[in-house]
Amino acid sequence: MSQVIRFGISLEPELLRRFDRLISDKGYSNRSEAIRDLIREALVRHEWEEEEGEKVGTITLIYDHHSHEVGDKLTDLQHDHYDAVLSTMHIHLDHDHCLEVIAVKGNGKLVQRLADELISLKGVKHGKLVATTTGKNL
Ligand code: NI
């Protein structure tokens, strides 16, 4: 952070009280850091809504590897999108369940579509795309 600008925010007392309780629960040491993170989150969300530009994220999947040949299908889909898949980490959680974390980079719409296809596969019990940023614009 090379330079900071101070500015004031007007809030209703009840809203500020609730915000202070929230940021305390989250472990923020001061309001400025919490508001900076909220602004960054909004900027990243806006970045993903725009069509242009490279996006980065992780797709987290929980699945039963006995179910519906899901392991093969997950691998096939990642090969179909090999240019967007940076790396995959696979963890055998227990006898049945696998955790897979796939790091992705590329066009936002393509990455979102890949995440949707992976998460909607039969046998995937839970999945989530964490849509983040290359960090260049923050
Ligand atoms: Ni496994």
Expressed in angstroms and rounded, the spacing between residue 15 Cα and the centre of ligand 1 is: 46
- Cα(97) to centroid of ligand 1, in Å? 6
- What percent of the chain is predicted at pLDDT more than 70? 99
User: What pLDDT band is residue 54 in, cutting at 50, 70 and 90?
Assistant: confident
Ligand 1 centroid from CA 118, angstroms = 16
Q: What is the mean pLDDT of residues 79-105?
A: 96
**Higher per-residue confidence, 136 vs 100:** 100
CA of 112 to the centre of ligand 1 (A): 24
Give the tens place of pLDDT for each residue, 1-11.
578 899 999 99
**Is 90's pLDDT higher than 90?**
yes
Query: Residue 132 and residue 96: Cα distance in Å, rounded?
Result: 30
**In the structure encoding, which two tokens stand for residue 1, read together?**
């952070």
Q: Which residues have C-beta under 5 Å from ligand 1, the single-atom ion?
A: 92, 98
Provide the pLDDT for residue 1. 55
Helix axis angle, 13-26 to 31-49, nearest 10°: 90
> pLDDT digits over 69-85, tens only?
999 999 999 999 999 99
Q: Ligand 1 center to residue 25 CA distance, Å?
A: 35
CA–centroid distance, residue 68 to ligand 1 (Å): 14
Token match 């596969």: residue?
A: 121
* Interior/surface letters 12-22, b for 16+ CB within 10 angstroms, e for the rest: eeeeeeebeee
